[in-house]
Amino acid sequence: MNKLKKSKLLELVEYIINLNPKMRFVALIDLKGNIVESIMKSGKTSLKTQKEEFHFCQQVAKRRKMRHEFDRHLGKVRYVHVEREKVTQLVIYSKRKTIYFTVEPELSIDKKLQLVMRIKKLTSHL
């Protein structure tokens, strides 16, 4: 990946992480499950080790392929939303990238949906 493109992706994840103070983490993942760019919100600590994060991102890519199998019958996935006790995980699919981000669980469902819609628009070209 060339430096200019890498720089633009870094700017994008930095912009996304600052959309809401309750954002924790943002990652752009390629179709093979590799993290292309990621950022943790300043002042937050990761709930996973680096090894766990890498494994999780690979699993996100595998789940994308599995969900794709049902697109013809059920329609394309708009986004994935997982509520956990300590964190909310959200996943959006663009054409060639998966956008994975986490937010604090106490953020209202309306605010979470607003973030999903905003991030979908920001990443539709990926």
Identify the structural domains of the chain with CATH numbers, from first to last: 3-123 (3.30.450.30)
User: Which amino acid type is present at position 7?
Assistant: S
Average pLDDT for residues 19-30, to the nearest whole number? 96
Predicted model pTM: 0.90
Mean pLDDT over each residue of the chain, to the nearest integer = 92
pLDDT at position 52 over 90:
no
pLDDT at 96 over 90: yes
pLDDT digits (tens, 9 = 90+) for 59-76: 999 999 999 999 999 999
Alpha-carbon Rg for the chain, nearest whole angstrom, is 14
The pLDDT confidence band at residue 5, using thresholds 50, 70 and 90, is confident
Does 10 score more than 90 pLDDT? yes
The three-state DSSP-derived secondary structure of the chain is: CCHHHHHHHHHHHHHHHCCCCCEEEEEEEECCCCEEEEEECCCCCCCCCHHHHHHHHHHHHHHHHHHHCCHHHHCCCCCEEEECCCCEEEEEECCCEEEEEEECCCCCHHHHHHHHHHHHHHHCCC
Are 16 and 116 in contact, with CB atoms under 8 Å apart? no
What percentage of the chain carries pLDDT values higher than 90? 79
Decide: 115 and 100 in contact? Cβ < 8 Å: no
Question: Are the CB atoms for 85 and 64 separated by under 8 Å?
Answer: no
pLDDT band at residue 49 using 50, 70 and 90 as cut-offs:
confident
Which pLDDT value is given to residue 47?
67
The Cα 55–Cα 61 span in angstroms is: 10
Residue type, 63: R
Contacts with 111 (C-beta within 8 Å, 6 or more apart), sequence order: 20, 22
